[in-house]
Structure 1
């Protein structure tokens, strides 16, 4: 699974109004009732998901086949490559052609799905089957699958972010181990940077927010920022961690040559999800990326030694080293489904059955999303992939919280970051204005 969360934020936010309209159409309590599947009645359910690559589709279909073998009276009609906007439209309209089970790559949607009640609260199903979600799922993954007490989704594999580093370049620069704190990281990035005219022969790290995966929210994952206070108001202007992150990022930009010079160099990078990725080509010696990059590097071998490690943390939070930003896929049941008993059996199997979770994680090189699967001896995890397993287990790891209007607050923060790193806005004044923008948008969404 390849994460493109930031690139789809704008599109998702544009769908927010449409999603909120769903409340008026389907904001009732669960309508599924007893579909007879528990008593052996033949039932066909429809499952919509976003996987489209051949090996991904094959993996999900293998799990569905295993499920149908265990539940011979439940047939699953699987439909792949479905985007969130199509899901929202189908759930708004309802009817025979609407899906029963849905998965989404976008955890930013959870607040909308839960608050609009287009996805069913799964708490009664979990309770009925004696499943304790807090014991079943890692805390961070559980956090991004619920909103204000509504467990309308469950995690279905996850992504963890960490540091990729060029061991050959490290050795040439006299660096013996990956940096653990931001001060160590800054020193390493500077040592690894080799100028060439008004550009670079090699850049230690690309810190700019337009860089691949180097977003404000990903960086803030290393600080443990909360984004909102106890009253649901944006705290980005009052949380010192937020200002500290932006100050650190801007200082690193200046240390490595300045915003304009870095931006010119960034335009020479190839596609993120290809062998032309700047880490693959040696254009950058350190990269911030997800666990899927290990599979890409195996598929497209490079001519240098490389390794992974957790991304560094602020010096005053050195004890949290090992943490990382997390996100993932979610799965839930359509509130309009008339076959929710059968739908729950599929959700439970795909999201909780250890064999199913591990086999799927192994097949598509994602992080397992249950505690048992993370510790399974059947999990394929070489040392470089193990880094991301450990990040998923780390109690300090974090995610971005759900919001009623999806990822709109992240868009606001992203846009501020673009302005700040380019020197176009004052830090505190800009953060205060962005916080007001976030609060106003949430109030409007309510």
Structure 2
């Protein structure tokens, strides 16, 4: 990855340090701490970007600290004296943390820095705001598409499904059982059940947080959501038996290892994210695979999928907010965003980078890039109730998958709990 140079004039950065009132080191530079959740090769990529920032100006020194412990991160943000000035997390936490007062509102800082939030994926920016204010910026985004095993589909004589009817027809053709009825190959599996089912909800025209992102409210029992869960039960749980599916899943290898069930042919199709375009060549170099859009229930839903986001934020107890904002601007700049996305195998949050030729070298990556720009892409709300809602949905989805509750029963239970959520 090329070292990135800071795009802002050095005099502007110097002015920021001078007017912020923050203490500088003996060399005249202000030191700020970037505590990040990445580690290993991903952490090394972050450190390269930090080095690029530090080398590109003379007013701020960023000290990077790899700290994957999210509980430690939250504890620091909730204390009187925090241990870092800028950090990263995920989009679904923004509303809850903003409501607790532990995030710095960014609108004025971003205006001072000249950051245009219109360059980011709209669905990602929906998660960055709470009550009309911006509290985070997306540093990377993730979309979900249908991965398929080319060899298994060819053997079954089918094309990648584009509609839900085609998907329903493909699953039994791609599912195999032994003489005792035990599943040996499943037509459609999952890497993360809640993500798969919320994505299918969008593909059936459902919404999980209402139709207005500016005024979200839990809508678990919306008809499209129920249709998606019914589809799952009819074509997997009921068709092959919840116990058989559970037993089959127990034999899956570790996710994204050489024993990943999709890599080994145990799963013919799976809903997953863009990171697989980097993982598969490393861990399953012989796998013949493809990717296509999520099948949809109606033609007008073409392009429907889910988007999640990785974020940068400044805690409310940061003592160096302006300097942190200057570093944030650098991290979301075109060059830094491109290099980070290439290093991590993630999508750039800036929609303008979707057609950057640098990504063309990653096989099948373009499918996820183009999905990012779809007008049908949706994201779960980051409202203050998000954590409770996500946990309740996960439990309900598990009951649907195990066949212990109907979609109507499971979602009615979530709706009942949602009535008591803190709306912030």
User: Which of these residues, 86, 91, 96, is aligned with residue 77 of structure 2?
Assistant: 91
Q: Which residue of structure 2 lines up, in the alignment, with residue 440 of structure 1?
A: 420
Q: What is the CA distance between 1:109 and its match in structure 2?
A: 1.1
Q: What is the CA distance between 1:36 and its match in structure 2?
A: 6.3
What is the rounded CA distance, in whole Å, between the counterparts of 1:42 and 1:412 in structure 2? 47
Give the direction of change, closer, same or farther, for the CA distance of 1:221–1:79 in structure 2 (3 Å limit).
farther
Q: Which residue of structure 2 lines up, in the alignment, with residue 416 of structure 1?
A: 396
- RMSD over equivalenced CA pairs, Å: 2.4
Contact 1:59–1:363 under 8 Å retained in 2:
yes
Q: Which residue of structure 2 lines up, in the alignment, with residue 116 of structure 1?
A: 100
User: Which of these residues, 101, 110, 121, is aligned with residue 86 of structure 2?
Assistant: 101
- Are 1:363 and 2:347 matched, yes or no? no
Q: What is the CA distance between 1:37 and its match in structure 2?
A: 9.6
What is the rounded CA distance, in whole Å, between the counterparts of 1:148 and 1:222 in structure 2? 28
- Are 1:48 and 2:30 matched, yes or no? no
Report the secondary structure of 1:179's partner residue. Answer: coil
Q: Which residue of structure 1 lines up, in the alignment, with residue 177 of structure 2?
A: 195
Q: Which residue of structure 2 lines up, in the alignment, with residue 390 of structure 1?
A: 370
Cα-to-partner distance string for 1:268-317 (whole Å, 9 max, x where unaligned): 10111311110111111111111111211111235442111122122x2x
Give the paired residue count: 401
Q: Which residue of structure 2 lines up, in the alignment, with residue 13 of structure 1?
A: none
User: Which of these residues, 216, 222, 228, is aligned with residue 245 of structure 1?
Assistant: 228
Give the direction of change, closer, same or farther, for the CA distance of 1:41–1:372 in structure 2 (3 Å limit).
farther
Q: What is the CA distance between 1:41 and its match in structure 2?
A: 4.8
Q: What is the CA distance between 1:257 and its match in structure 2?
A: 1.3
What is the rounded CA distance, in whole Å, between the counterparts of 1:221 and 1:285 in structure 2? 22
Report the secondary structure of 2:188's partner residue. Answer: coil
TM-score by length of 2: 0.88
Q: Which residue of structure 1 lines up, in the alignment, with residue 142 of structure 2?
A: 159
Contact 2:110–2:325 under 8 Å retained in 1:
no
Which one is further off, 41-50 or 424-433? 424-433
Q: What is the CA distance between 1:83 and its match in structure 2?
A: 2.5
Give the direction of change, closer, same or farther, for the CA distance of 1:311–1:139 in structure 2 (3 Å limit).
same
Contact 1:109–1:407 under 8 Å retained in 2:
yes
What is the rounded CA distance, in whole Å, between the counterparts of 2:226 and 2:194 in structure 1? 20
What is the rounded CA distance, in whole Å, between the counterparts of 2:169 and 2:245 in structure 1? 17
Q: What is the CA distance between 1:330 and its match in structure 2?
A: 0.5
Q: Which residue of structure 1 lines up, in the alignment, with residue 117 of structure 2?
A: 133
Q: What is the CA distance between 1:336 and its match in structure 2?
A: 1.3
Q: What is the CA distance between 1:370 and its match in structure 2?
A: 0.7
Contact 2:280–2:287 under 8 Å retained in 1:
no
- 5 Å-filtered alignment, 1:269-348, equals 269-314=252-297, 316=298, 318-348=299-329
Q: Which residue of structure 2 lines up, in the alignment, with residue 15 of structure 1?
A: none
Report the secondary structure of 1:77's partner residue. Answer: strand
- Are 1:150 and 2:136 matched, yes or no? no
Report the secondary structure of 2:263's partner residue. Answer: helix
Report the secondary structure of 2:148's partner residue. Answer: strand
Q: Which residue of structure 1 lines up, in the alignment, with residue 189 of structure 2?
A: 206
Q: What is the CA distance between 1:223 and its match in structure 2?
A: 3.6
Contact 1:233–1:439 under 8 Å retained in 2:
no
Contact 1:35–1:341 under 8 Å retained in 2:
no
* Unaligned runs of at least 5 residues, structure 2: 1-17
Q: What is the CA distance between 1:82 and its match in structure 2?
A: 3.0
Q: Which residue of structure 2 lines up, in the alignment, with residue 64 of structure 1?
A: 50
What is the rounded CA distance, in whole Å, between the counterparts of 1:123 and 1:400 in structure 2? 22
Cα-to-partner distance string for 1:333-381 (whole Å, 9 max, x where unaligned): 1111121111101111102x10100011111111011123223233354
